[in-house]
Amino acid sequence: MKISCEEASQICNKSQYKEAGFWQVLKLRLHVLTCKTCAKFTKKNTAFTSLCEKANLQVLSESEKEAMRKDLEKHL
C-alpha cells in the first residue's frame, strides 16, 4: 500500500477538489505519517484550499472565456 511522493501529491491535489476516493485518501494519510515533506505539502495545500473557499472566487464561464479569446485575437 506504499505510495511515492509524486502519487501522494496527486492524491493531495485530487482531495482538494473532492475527487479522491476513500482508499486514495487513506494511502495519502499513511504516507504523510512517514514523510515530512509530503506532510508539509499537504498542510500548505489544505490551507490554500481554505483560503480560496473563504475568498469566494469566481471563474469565467466557457462562453465568457471564448469571448475574451476572440477579443484578444482582434487586438493582435
Decide: 42 and 48 in contact? Cβ < 8 Å: no
Distances (CA, A) of 2 to 12, 67, 76: 15, 46, 51
pTM above 0.75, yes or no: no
pLDDT at 12: 94
Cell 475568498 appears where?
55
- More confident of the two residues 56 and 10: 10
- Joined together, the cell numbers standing for residue 14 give 485530487
Q: What is the pLDDT of residues 7-26, one digit of tens each?
A: 999 999 999 888 999 999 99
Q: What is the mean pLDDT of residues 25-40?
A: 95
Contacts (Cβ under 8 Å, ≥6 apart) of 47: none
The per-residue pLDDT of the chain, averaged, comes to 92
